[in-house]
Structure 1
Amino acid sequence: MSDQEKAELRLQLARLKQEHADFDAAIEAMVKTGCDALRIQRMKKKKLVLKDKISELADGTLPDIIA
């Protein structure tokens, strides 16, 4: 993998982490304002999907180490 591809992956990873944090803040605000439980649940599901994507990208950026 070239240095440019690694940099792009790290950038994408950073964007997803920021989006994940944004979802977290939005969910917290929704809970405080007493928003509909179904909407909160949907937001949590989207946040979980983002977490999975972050995990996949993070695994792809780490080198394989053979023990």
Structure 2
Amino acid sequence: MTGLDEEQEAAIHARIAELAEEHRDLDQMISRVSESAPFDQLQLQRMKKRKLAIKDQMSRLNALLVPDIIA
């Protein structure tokens, strides 16, 4: 049991889906920017940092959905 009701779980799943879509979009943008020469290194670095932050946020939300299991 995760301690979350169905509505909370649904909201978390919806947020994870939104973040996953943003993560995919950023990945595509990063690919396009890095393929075009010359490219703005600072912009690329910011996009990669944002992509990593999104991935971390998705991991934290997924951890809320998975119950703690003591091995």
Query: TM-score, normalised on structure 2?
Result: 0.87
Aligned with residue 58 of structure 2, among 54, 58, 65: 54
Pairing 1:41–2:59 present: no
Residues 16-44 of structure 1: CA distance to partner in whole angstroms, max 9, x if unpaired?
01101110000000011122111101110
Report the structure, 1 or 2, having the larger helix content.
1
SS at match of 1:51: helix
CA distance in 2, matches of 1:5, 1:39: 35
**Equivalence map 1:1-67=2 (5 Å):** 1-34=4-37, 35-67=39-71
Cα RMSD for the two superposed structures: 0.9
- The 4+ residue runs of structure 1 with deviation greater than 3 A are none
CA distance in 1, matches of 2:9, 2:68: 14
- 5+ residue gaps, structure 2, are none
CA distance in 2, matches of 1:32, 1:66: 46
- 5+ residue gaps, structure 1, are none
How many corresponding residue pairs? 67
